[in-house]
Every structure is written in structure tokens, then in C-alpha cells.
Amino acid sequence: MSGCLLPGKNTKRMNLELLRSKKLVNYPSGSTMSTFQDHIYLMGDDASSMLILDDDFTVIDTIKFFDVDLLRIQKTKKADIESSEWLMTDGKPKLWLFGSGSLSPQRDSAFCYDPESKKTKSIDLIEFYNRLRASPIPELNIEAVALVKNQLIFGSRGNLKHKQNFIIVTTANGFLSKAEFSILPIMLPEHAGISGMTYIPEKDLLLITSSEESTSNAFEDGKIGESYLGFVFSASSKIKQKNLVPDEWINLADINLDLSLQKIESVCILRSSDEDKIKLILVSDDDKGGTMLFELRLSLSK
């Protein structure tokens, strides 16, 4: 494994290996994934439906979100769902999917999916997003979310004009209330913007994806570059600091050339019987409607 950037004092020995990949046919713009009971819940930022896949990447169900017949929803009208996380809601685990907030009001909503009823409801987040827009974040673009113990953290992506990326830390349901939040600058590889996050509670490890894209605002797409995987050990304490500096970044192209020039949008994990060998799933979006899935094995030294 090579291509390590920004090493920190607490970096642990790791090995990362690409196991397989699969291109999804006729599913556009994969942007966020979450796992629940060994199933992968995948949403595209301009898709009308969410896919549920098994651990072999086979589609087992399709959940309609938007009543449109187009394969890809128009850019000016799409909800731009870019992040998702399972949260306890009304005493049950439900999947929350978040619009990016990069265009108001079209992208100022969240969607709550109940796996028992298979129903989805839309929730207006304009009040929460307007509070974030009034913060030091110059251009809101929510691309990542993760539950770290009892704290919900969002990642707002920068661009060529506003290069700084930010982490927003609030309570588990802070987006639904007037709960306080804190804003942390996050250090990323140069020219990269945050694109996804997932948390491994047993390791207190936050995984972050970032990708290079040549665009000067949160609305337009740009030329795609390389993507990276970041590691934050002891994450629950580090998100309480004034800024977030990941312990290590890995250029995914150095793991396998099949990962080169892939705009990685999200990361999630599949449970393994060996807690030190973790199955990672990455999804990429080529900005042309294409979606690729990648499975990797992450081995951590004891």
C-alpha cells in the first residue's frame, strides 16, 4: 500500500486491497450508500429511486422516491441527495438521506425511509441549512454525514473558489431542532473535496472519502481527478477539537489502477467475522450518469 499523505502521530499499520468492482446498468449518479442488516442502500443524486442491494451487489429491491419517469432528474430540479445515515427515529432505525443544500430551496430537504413500511417522507431542512449558511461556511454543499457515538457530523465540500472544507458537529437529531452546532475546518489532500464518511464504532474510526474535481462552485461539475481515503483514529474525541486533521490519507489510485480517475462519492462497511479485516464498499459517479461499485478489504494491525 502506498500513496500515504499527511501522516499523523497515531497512524496505525494498514493494508488496503481491491477485491472486485461492478458497473451498475441503468442506475445513474451513485452518490451515497449506507448498510443495514448486510444490505446496501444506494442513492444517486439525480436518481428517482433508491436501490437496495445484497452483499454480492445484486439489486433486490427498488424504492421510488420521486414521481418522475426520467432516468436522471434535471440538474435544476433534483434534490441532490449526497449523504445518508441510519438514525434511531421514533424508537426504530430509519435511513435519513440529505440534500446537499447547494441550491435553495430545491436541495434543502431530507428524506426519512422506514425499512419496515418501505415508506419515505420528506422533511424541510431550510431552517437548519439557513443557520449553516449564516455560519463561517461560505458556500454550503453537504456531501457527507456520519453518526459518531451520539454526535451527528456533516461534511461540507469546498471548491476552487472556496477551498476550505468543513465538518459540522451537532446532536443526533440536531438538524430537526435548534440545537447548537460547531464548525471545524478539515485538512484534505490538496485540490480534493470531501465526498463521504462512515464510522466504525468498535474502532472509534472515522473513514472519509475525498475527490478531486475542477469546479469553482457547488453547482457545476468539473474535470475529475483522483480520489482518496482518509482515516481518523479516536474520532469521537478529535471531532471536539478546533479543526480536524485525519491521521492518514491514501491515494486510491496507488492501491489499484482501476480506482484511478474515479470520483468516489461515498464509503460504507459490510460486517466481517474478523474485526481487523473490514470490507469497504465505495461508489463512484462519472458525472455522465454512470455508477460503479468497488469492494475493498481493509486490514488493521492489532
CA 211: distance to chain centroid? Answer: 11
Q: Is residue 237 within a helix (H) or strand (E), and if so which, with residue range? A: helix 235-238
Contacts of 253 (CB under 8 A, 6+ apart): 3, 226, 227, 259, 260, 261
| Sheet hosting strand 248-251, strand order edge to edge | 4-5, 248-251, 223-233, 205-214, 192-200
Per-10-residue mean pLDDT of the chain, 302 residues long, equals 43 82 94 96 97 97 94 94 97 98 97 97 97 96 97 96 96 94 96 96 96 76 89 97 96 96 96 80 87 95 70
Rounded Cα distance between 147 and 221, Å, is 28
Closest to 203 (Cα-Cα) out of 254, 133, 274, 155: 274
Cell of 264: 468516489
pLDDT tens digits, 119-135: 999 999 999 999 999 99
Contacts of 56 (CB under 8 A, 6+ apart): none
Look at residue 221 in the predicted model and tell me its pLDDT.
66
Contacts of 1 (CB under 8 A, 6+ apart): 14, 15, 16, 250, 254, 255
For 56, 85, 138, 148, the CA distances from 238, given in Å and listed in that order, are 35, 20, 23, 11
* Residues 205 and 231 sit within 8 Å (Cβ to Cβ): yes
Rounded Cα distance between 179 and 202, Å, is 27
* Residues 123 and 110 sit within 8 Å (Cβ to Cβ): yes
Cell of 143: 456531501
Cell of 213: 474535481
What pairing do the DSSP bridges indicate for beta strands 277-285 and 291-300? antiparallel
Domains and CATH numbers, the chain: 4-300 (2.115.10)
The answer to pTM > 0.85 is yes
Look at residue 4 in the predicted model and tell me its pLDDT.
45
Look at residue 287 in the predicted model and tell me its pLDDT.
73
